[in-house]
Amino acid sequence: MQDQVTLFHNPRCSKSRAALQIVKKLGIEPIIIEYLKNPPTSEKIKEIVNKLGVNPRDIIRTKEPAYLEKNLNNQNLTNEELINSIAERPIILVGEKAAIGRPPELILEIL
């Protein structure tokens, strides 16, 4: 049996829609979490960052107005401060693995 697939999704984002389409073409019906309506908790973001093996800054969308509004360009912010301020990108979770769907085809590495 395959692990449950969860997609943190933004239906207005073309990359996120493409990631969802890839998953569905594989016959997988993921749990979809629209992260703009239901943002993940700081603990969930920590879990995702750890599964991705990245720094929180690596998943921040720098072109969004909130990036400057929240002063996330400040290089002195700690990882904890960044985690408490973000919910980003189409991210897919499968068991203990995670992938950022940018570009969307990257999710195939863990499916």
Alpha helices in 1-111 (DSSP H): 14-25, 42-52, 65-69, 79-83
Which residue numbers are catalytic? 13
What does pTM read for this prediction?
A: 0.75
pLDDT given for residue 108 in this prediction: 86
pLDDT given for residue 78 in this prediction: 92
Asked if residue 88 has pLDDT above 80, the reply is no
Helices (H) and strands (E) in the chain, counts: 4, 4
For the stretch 3-56, pLDDT in tens is 899 999 989 889 899 999 999 999 999 999 998 898 888 898 899 899 989 899
Number of domains within the chain: 1
pLDDT given for residue 27 in this prediction: 94
Range of the domain at 100: 5-109
* CATH code of the domain in which 91 resides: 3.40.30.10
